[in-house]
Amino acid sequence: MGSVPLPTNEQARLQLLHQLDILDTEADPIFDRITALVKEVLGADAALITLVDEERQWFKAKVGFDEPETPREVSFCTHVVAAGETVIVENAIDDERFSENPYVTAEGGVRSYAGAPITLYNDYHLGSLCVISQTPYKFPPSKIRYLEVLAEWVSETITARYELENYHAEQQVLAHGPVCAVVWRVEPDVHLSYVAENAERVLGYGNDYLLREDVNYESIVHPDEREELLSRMHAVLDGDEDILEMDYRVVGEQDDSTTIRWIHHYARVDKDTEGNVLRVRGYLLDDSKGKELELALLEANQNFELALAAGEFFNWSWTIPTDKLTLSHSWWALAGYTAEQERQLDWRTLVHPDDIEKMQEQMSAHAKGVTHRFDARFRVRHRAGHYLWLHSVGKIIARDAQGRPLKMMGIHHDITQLIASEKVLEQQAEVLELVSHVQNEFMLAKNFSEVCDFALPKLMTMTDSKVGFIGELPAHSQQRNLVLAHGLRLGSIEHKSESMQQLIQQSLEVEVGGDVLRSVLVRGEPEFYHEPLSEQDLTLKPLVLPDLNNALVMPLYFKRDVVGLMVLANTDGHYRQEYLGLLRPMLDTLGTLMHMRRMDEERRQAVEELRKLATTDELTGVANRRVFWEAMSKRFDEFKRYQVPMTVAVIDLDHFKSVNDNYGHAAGDQVLREFCHRAEKQLRDMDLFGRLGGEEFAILFTHTEVDAATTALERIRKAIAEKSFKVEGEEISVTISAGIAEVRKDDEKLDHWMARADEALYKAKAKGRNQCVTVTKD
């Protein structure tokens, strides 16, 4: 008889066959009728629908044949599966492939055979529709065509049922998830024809309401976005666009109070073969939290601009190749120019003629790399005719491949009132530079403590202070008795305790004490103290402060809220009122950056939560299917390069359906969580535990041979089997079956490795379950 022929895609074919879940199932009337029809049409003794797995051919339907299955090695149909085309045997005695087949040599054995492949998705030949007779027979082409057409009918029926089951499963997932699926019909008018069950949770409106003929979907959309949605929807319906994607608000009425939800709307069209739009499918996601965070960050940026303007700082940017110079609108307002004049005037024409050459020299020096920044003082003509003094600082932030500058950014500051005092002017320039540096450093590094560690010594130098401290109130602080330390200098500008600085980098929490600090934090007003301070006036535990002879304590604001404080102490003279004006831009900037730090931290937490949701199974907390397969792929590639051992185990909870049936799905969920908890306790940090779906799990043992992995699996199996699960007073006994496979050199694809683990799991179940089975090496 020779060896059993195999198709080139055998592993993938078997995987699909098992995914169909059609083997060993009950008889199906439609398949029974097809076999009876083909037996009659071809005048055969028997007709069969066969499915060929690893070791056998099993009969989904049969007429005139008694056995439920036969070994694969003696199956005529395995040749149909291997060839992927119809096989005809007119006399098996004369065919060397079958002349010694026991079903041929037996008394009254098979003489003639015709089998057409049952093929899914053009490439996966799962079995055949075949006829057999005890007499030789020459099959007419017309009857073979009947056989092939009926085989195509069987294939299409199996495919349709499989895809319908998957569709219903997908609908169930959507119905309980954060995305609401909807469908708009086109004829006789545009209206929703399907709305998923979870519409109430996602949109705030039930599907019974949205499907009413007197309700149009756009009626629940906020008026500000309604017209845009209708316009873009019409573009899709008219065939001008294939997809629609936008964000809008849905307005709902609950308990007489208006509620707003931000919805991310994605829709696409279904078209017929002629390109006509049949329907529009939509997927609606409640993105309220993400949108609120986005709007909050936008507001933070706007408030940052306001904070700069409050300190009479104005942003500017210069796109050098196009010579486009842009200034903030608030600067034009300061100079007395209208919005119309702002659009028409070239800002540089307003510069005093005597200052142009010097300003250009500074710009050229920075562009050539001679100076690390552009820094110039010059006069600009006010609309009323007089001149304002500006101090401008900027930096080239982009260059091309040849080193030529592409873009420059900076800030202006109005120094008109300070020009009379050179010292004040110099200090103001230092503040300006410091603000610019602090902003840039924070935007680049996002490390507020490093920013404070840089800024605090410079502020202390400006005020001749020997002690300095910057602290931040935690978000939503009520008692205002704790701050997070971000900057600290004790004794002198040069003094710096490395251990204390490390604690500050880790957000050291400081207990605020004393009437002075509490007064500043509660009242939000700066306090000048020209006499020595006692512990009743000021303490910062656990910091040990030197004796304080005087102090200036200033609140840090964002908008009108106190978000932190700055303490400067031990100046040689006394703290003057003018210091508040000098330090105000820096105080406002630090307050704004504190708020932005909070917002960034909240954003990171939100991103981390989204990342966790995207990479872990929601029910059990272990890795989800996608993450597990990505890890498998990486380890498979690592094995191919370095030949390091890798082992995978596939685990199934035995008879888990009975747990759900007898105790309920809530109890089943608790069992799954407890199973994961017990299993993870037996694993190493380097092992990856994931949920593939339902009660099926898998473990990836990195750099581990199969024997060590089997030992670990046995520990898990015993931990599950030896102790029942307690759920709401019930004792639930659970066992597991596991299949284990180590990756081999001849595994050409990842699927081959995983298929062997699935094969071992199948054997573990076949042997009685509650055991771990390893694929033996060939």
Task: Report if pTM > 0.85.
Answer: no
Q: What angle do CA 75, 80, 85 make, to 5 degrees?
A: 170
Contact 218, 246 (CB under 8 A): no
The pLDDT, as a whole number, for residue 75 is: 94
Confidence of residue 579 (pLDDT cuts 50, 70, 90): confident
More confident residue, 345 or 496: 345
Residue 454: closest CA among 465, 464, 472, 439: 439
Sign of CA dihedral 239, 245, 247, 250: positive
Q: In this predicted model, what pLDDT tens digit does every residue of 306-327 receive, in sequence order?
A: 555 555 677 788 888 888 888 7
* φ and ψ of 212, to 5 deg: -65, 140
Please compute the mean of the pLDDT values over residues 586-615 and round it to a whole number: 72
**Lowest-pLDDT choice from 52-61, 63-72, 176-185, 607-616:** 607-616
d(CA 377, CA 429): 10
Question: What does each C-alpha distance from 765 to 212, 363, 760 come to in angstroms?
Answer: 51, 78, 9
The pLDDT, as a whole number, for residue 493 is: 40
Return mean pLDDT, the chain.
85
The total of other beta-carbon atoms located within 10 Å of residue 213's CB is 8
Q: In this predicted model, what pLDDT tens digit does every residue of 716-762 receive, in sequence order?
A: 999 999 999 998 888 999 999 999 999 999 999 999 999 999 999 99
**Lowest-pLDDT choice from 283-287, 521-525, 666-670, 762-766:** 521-525
Contact 488, 468 (CB under 8 A): yes
Sign of CA dihedral 588, 593, 595, 596: positive
State which of 113-117, 157-161, 504-508, 637-641 shows the largest mean pLDDT: 113-117
Phi-psi region of 694 (alpha: psi -120 to 50; beta: other; left: phi over 0): left
**Lowest-pLDDT choice from 29-43, 205-219, 409-423, 551-565:** 409-423
Burial 129-159 (b: 16+ CB within 10 A, else e): bbbbbeeebebeeebeebbbebbebbbeebb
Sign of CA dihedral 52, 53, 55, 61: negative
Residue 74: closest CA among 48, 46, 105: 105
Confidence of residue 501 (pLDDT cuts 50, 70, 90): low
The total of other beta-carbon atoms located within 10 Å of residue 431's CB is 23
d(CA 695, CA 651): 8
- Two tokens at 317? 């940017």
If you search the block for the tokens 């300003």, which residue do you land on?
A: 359
Pairing of strands 56-63, 324-327: unpaired
Contact 487, 594 (CB under 8 A): no
pLDDT at 361 over 60: yes
d(CA 306, CA 297): 14
3-state SS string for 154-167: HHHHHHHHHHHHHH
If you search the block for the tokens 């995207």, which residue do you land on?
A: 614
Task: Give the DSSP H or E segment for 772.
Answer: strand 772-774
- Two tokens at 18? 């098992």
The pLDDT, as a whole number, for residue 409 is: 86
Please compute the mean of the pLDDT values over residues 67-92 and round it to a whole number: 94
d(CA 73, CA 731): 47
The pLDDT, as a whole number, for residue 583 is: 84
The total of other beta-carbon atoms located within 10 Å of residue 53's CB is 18
pLDDT at 444 over 90: no
The percent of residues in the chain predicted with pLDDT above 90, rounded, is 41
The pLDDT, as a whole number, for residue 314 is: 77
DSSP SS3 for 224? helix
* φ and ψ of 579, to 5 deg: -60, -30
Alpha-carbon dihedral 53, 59, 60, 66, rounded to 10 degrees: -160
Question: What does each C-alpha distance from 457 to 71, 109, 189 come to in angstroms?
Answer: 86, 101, 71
Residue 57: closest CA among 39, 78, 40, 38: 78
Just list the catalytic residues: 695
pLDDT at 472 over 80: yes
Q: In this predicted model, what pLDDT tens digit does every residue of 144-177 receive, in sequence order?
A: 999 999 999 999 999 888 877 776 666 666 666 6
DSSP SS3 for 515? helix
Point out which residues pair with 509 in neighbouring strands.
Answer: 484
Contact 543, 468 (CB under 8 A): no
Q: Report how far Cα 47 is from the mean position of its chain's Cα atoms.
A: 53
Domains within the chain, CATH numbers bracketed: 10-169 (3.30.450.40), 176-286 (3.30.450.20), 305-600 (3.30.450.40), 625-774 (3.30.70.270)
Alpha-carbon dihedral 468, 473, 479, 481, rounded to 10 degrees: -30
The total of other beta-carbon atoms located within 10 Å of residue 632's CB is 20
d(CA 496, CA 494): 6
Contact 496, 503 (CB under 8 A): no
The pLDDT, as a whole number, for residue 259 is: 73
pLDDT at 455 over 90: no
* φ and ψ of 502, to 5 deg: -65, -40
Residue 143: closest CA among 88, 192, 187, 191: 88
DSSP SS3 for 211? coil
The total of other beta-carbon atoms located within 10 Å of residue 500's CB is 16
More confident residue, 636 or 388: 636
The pLDDT, as a whole number, for residue 170 is: 61
Largest interatomic CA distance in the chain? 122
Contact 635, 752 (CB under 8 A): no
Task: Give the DSSP H or E segment for 417.
Answer: none
Q: Spell out the residues 6+ positions from residue 527 whose beta carbon is closer than 8 angstroms to its own.
A: 516, 519, 520, 551, 552, 553
The pLDDT, as a whole number, for residue 495 is: 43
d(CA 195, CA 185): 12
d(CA 553, CA 567): 5
**Lowest-pLDDT choice from 133-147, 375-389, 579-593, 725-739:** 579-593
Q: In this predicted model, what pLDDT tens digit does every residue of 113-122 receive, in sequence order?
A: 999 999 998 9
The pLDDT, as a whole number, for residue 296 is: 64
Sign of CA dihedral 25, 31, 36, 41: negative
Contact 291, 265 (CB under 8 A): no
Confidence of residue 765 (pLDDT cuts 50, 70, 90): very high
Q: In this predicted model, what pLDDT tens digit does every residue of 205-259 receive, in sequence order?
A: 988 999 999 999 999 999 999 999 999 999 988 888 888 999 999 988 654 446 7
The pLDDT, as a whole number, for residue 589 is: 83
Please compute the mean of the pLDDT values over residues 272-297 and round it to a whole number: 80
Q: Spell out the residues 6+ positions from residue 456 whose beta carbon is closer than 8 angstroms to its own.
A: 468, 469, 470, 487, 488, 489
Rg of the chain over Cα atoms, rounded to whole angstroms, equals 39
Pairing of strands 736-742, 772-774: parallel
